[in-house]
A and B are shown apart, each in its own frame.
Chain A
């Protein structure tokens, strides 16, 4: 048997008629987004001990701020960070952004971070004509050694120490991305990420965004759904609200207990036409898709639910066992409000 024979055999075997695919790109994107978030969060973890010492030295040399948070006073940093973030309150807001922001995302993992993101689909023009693609604000809760923006092994010259509002801070640059990381409260890190179209004055933009952050605004984050389908003792471990013109999508993810990983996500998006997929079944009159996988839990996607796309997922068999009526039961116990004016 020579090599060409093997090649023919393999090519023929590859043409075996496949069963319907169970590969789910949306699930991969959800899982991938989560890993990306965690990678970003954890990227500086290895330097935590060093940074704590640096922070302590900085505090001794500069003194602690005496003013409390100033929601209407951009740049005024709080004397203490929240112990954890309320998943339904927007803790901070941008006091300044470059022109041209067209979309925004709020993501809150109460224990680990608050993230506010602005997208610039039509390139904005910053002071030095650099096109801004994205601006992110990251805040850690008190007591969490989350250091945003610093990689495990920074390339020499890619970061440098600086000062921000009298506290130790760092610049980190990676291609078109510029990060300013500073302590917005004692020993508690914040970061602004600026992604430009190309090399440019990312530092100017990042510094100005950071200087104008309004802390402690605590704006209510309203939701396009309410549910009684999730056990009341489960807690919300992630909220994500995305708005872009008339389009939106919102995810709320639950965990069983404080130590648990993600258990269940309820996700709604509008308009449903943003999702083009072939339904495989019908649930309560709505075109739907279902998938059940031993490894990844199960998913239920429904199309055109009062104009919305609804996606329910749980991530492990244990959660499935705790939902007696499955994801269909969760869907039926959830009330949806497609008009943002009606969000609760």
Chain B
């Protein structure tokens, strides 16, 4: 159903530039939503973030479309929109509604097969809850470093800080995530 909805997003166009914009965003929307979800831990907020980011991308499309790495440009827009929105709109928003997917009990457990069998299984729900406790900037650093596979230098460019700051933000983020997971309540696999 989700992919069907994503396919529904090709809309009318007026210019070649706009057509290219729509083609690009349509093809990368699923990825954008995933990154946004990791940053927000909430699909509603993730979609709001993605909406804001692609609007900003449209405004800067003339430059963006000429970027060497359009995905990197778009990711930078998304992350900066996330960090800036954290300071403004989202802080005052409280009327978020749980969606069915958000409310569903976790069905997939981590660790993945290659992880140590001694580790406690951690559900997606728990990871999500733990990640939500990591401060936004540290969370962004974790997502950029370990999901987007950016180097320290690349992450620093996105976050507009020094590589040293990225290292410290990442280390603190890891610590915060570890602490949040250690204090989690275990959720049985068959719940």
Enumerate chain A interface residues (CB-CB to B < 8 A).
Answer: 1, 3, 5-29, 31-33, 35-36, 39, 105, 119, 121, 242, 244, 249, 269, 274-278, 280, 289, 293-296, 309
Contacts and interface: CB of A to CB of B under 8 A. Distances in A.
B72 interface: no
Contact of B142 (A10, A242, A244): A10
A14 B38 contact: yes
A28 B35 CA distance: 18
A32 B21 CA distance: 11
Q: What are the 6 A-B residue pairs with the smallest beta carbon separation, nearest first?
A: A32-B58, A26-B11, A278-B8, A20-B5, A7-B146, A10-B147
Task: Give the most central of B14, B38, B178: most A CB within 10 Å.
Answer: B14
A262 to B, nearest CB: 14
Nearest to B122: A9
A14 B34 contact: yes
B174 A1 contact: yes
Contacts of B157: none
A14 B48 contact: no
Contacts of A6: 142, 146, 174, 177
A119 B15 CA distance: 9
A21 B2 contact: yes
Nearest to A105: B14
B115 A12 contact: no
Contacts of B177: 1, 6
A1 B122 CA distance: 12
Contacts, number: 164
A27 B67 CA distance: 24
Interface string B37-81: 110000110011011001111110100000000000000000000
Given A16-B101, A121-B16, A25 B59 contact: no
B11 A23 contact: no
Contact of B128 (A8, A13, A119, A269): A13
A8 B111 contact: yes
Contacts of B142: 6, 10
Nearest to B7: A278
Contacts of B59: 32, 35-36, 39
Given A13-B131, A242-B14, A23 B108 contact: no
Interface stretch (B25-33, B158-166, B183-191): B25-33
Contacts of B136: none
A309 B10 CA distance: 13
B1 interface: yes
**Which applies to chain A's interface (DSSP): helix, strand, loop or mixed?**
mixed
Contact of A10 (B26, B57, B114, B143): B143
A33 B16 CA distance: 14
B25 A309 contact: no
A6 B145 CA distance: 10
A25 B25 contact: yes
A28 B2 contact: no
A7 B12 CA distance: 38
B117 to A, nearest CB: 14
Contact of A25 (B26, B47, B122, B124): B26
A274 B89 CA distance: 35
A334 B48 CA distance: 31
A17 B5 CA distance: 13
B146 A13 contact: no
A73 to B, nearest CB: 32
Contacts of B147: 7, 10-11, 14
Contacts of B8: 277-278, 280, 289
Given A35-B59, A296-B51, A23 B9 contact: yes
B29 A21 contact: yes
B91 interface: no
A194 to B, nearest CB: 15
A105 B18 CA distance: 15
